[in-house]
Amino acid sequence: MTKDWCAEEPPHPFSPSAPLALDLNALGPAQALDRRALGGFWSESQWQQELGRQGSLCFGQWQGQELLSLASGWLVVGELQLTLVAVDPSWRRRGLGRQVLTTLLQEAQRQGCGQASLEVAESNGAAQGLYGGLGFSTVGIRRRYYRNGDAALIQWLELKHVEEVRIPAPSFH
Ligand SMILES: CC(C)(COP(=O)(O)OP(=O)(O)OC[C@H]1O[C@@H](n2cnc3c(N)ncnc32)[C@H](O)[C@@H]1OP(=O)(O)O)[C@@H](O)C(=O)NCCC(=O)NCCS
């Protein structure tokens, strides 16, 4: 049986925080996570936009001052356009990605979004596993979309399905 994330259990002393909304105060830690997880996908000014822009929504999980996970997107006319999900390499496969992304999707729905969309590289099996597990399905493909020649899959989710997602508690060893 899966455990509900909201189950009343004392947190493990080294557990990351529950997902919290991020703003410009998280600029340094978000950039540091971006470097560790994605080799520096966005510049400082792009991160400033992402965290400070009206209509952008961003959640992350902390351990002390360090950001371990992040999921971010833009609210555009009733749709959440997912821009980035990242988990610290040493914290992967413990449920953080699923937890932080589900929180973002649920908050987008709470704020009136009906759908979420994203683009994911055809070769990114980890991200596709994460998105597929939450109910995203592929609705299109952009060939040779990325600089390395990789295609982008366009994926879509009706957010009403996210209400039903029970978030399993992350596992810590
Ligand atoms: C994609 C990413 C965010 C997943 O984070 P994570 O915390 O490891 O994911 P979770 O532990 O929550 O896993 C959720 C599900 O995703 C899938 N998944 C995650 N990592 C996977 C991998 N390496 N291979 C295959 N499936 C994977 C699985 O279905 C998994 O469920 P399971 O553990 O019950 O099998 C992480 O690998 C990452 O930061 N990658 C680099 C950044 C990136 O590519 N982001 C996406 C594009 S912006």
Residue 97 CB–ligand 1 contact under 6 Å: yes
- What band does 173 get if pLDDT is binned at 50, 70 and 90? low
Within a domain: 13:
no
Within a domain: 4:
no
Within a domain: 11:
no
Within a domain: 15:
no
Within a domain: 66:
yes
Within a domain: 102:
yes
Residue 46: give its domain's CATH number: 3.40.630.30
Residue whose C-alpha is closest to residue 152's, from 164, 140, 168? 140
Residue-number span of the structural domain to which 40 is assigned: 20-164
Within a domain: 26:
yes
Quote the pLDDT of residue 163.
Answer: 64
Q: Which residues contact 85 (CB under 8 A, 6 or more apart)?
A: 70, 71, 72, 97, 100, 101, 127, 130
Distance 1 CA to ligand 1 centre (A): 21
Residue 38 CB–ligand 1 contact under 6 Å: yes
Q: How many domains does the chain have?
A: 1
Measured by CA distance, the residue closest to atom 22 of ligand 1 is: 126
Q: How far apart are CA 115 and CA 109, in angstroms?
A: 8
Within a domain: 172:
no
Residue 36 CB–ligand 1 contact under 6 Å: no
Measured by CA distance, the residue closest to atom 31 of ligand 1 is: 130
Q: Across all residues in the chain, what is the average pLDDT?
A: 90
> Of the spans 3-17, 136-150, 158-172, which averages the highest pLDDT?
136-150
- What band does 1 get if pLDDT is binned at 50, 70 and 90? very low
Q: Is the pLDDT of residue 13 over 90?
A: no
Atom nearest to 87 CA in ligand 1: 39
Q: Model confidence over 71-114: pLDDT tens digits?
A: 999 999 999 999 999 999 999 999 999 999 999 999 999 999 99
Phi/psi of residue 22, nearest 5 degrees: -110, 145
Residue 84 CB–ligand 1 contact under 6 Å: yes
Q: Is the pLDDT of residue 171 over 70?
A: no
Active site residue 79: no
- Lowest mean pLDDT of 15-19, 75-79, 116-120, 129-133, name the range: 15-19
The sheet with strand 115-121 has its strands ordered as 20-21, 56-63, 66-76, 79-87, 115-121, 152-158, 137-142
User: pTM here?
Assistant: 0.91
Active site residue 119: yes
Query: 66, 79, 119, 122: which one is catalytic?
Result: 119
Atom nearest to 88 CA in ligand 1: 39
- Which residue bears the tokens 């957010």? 159
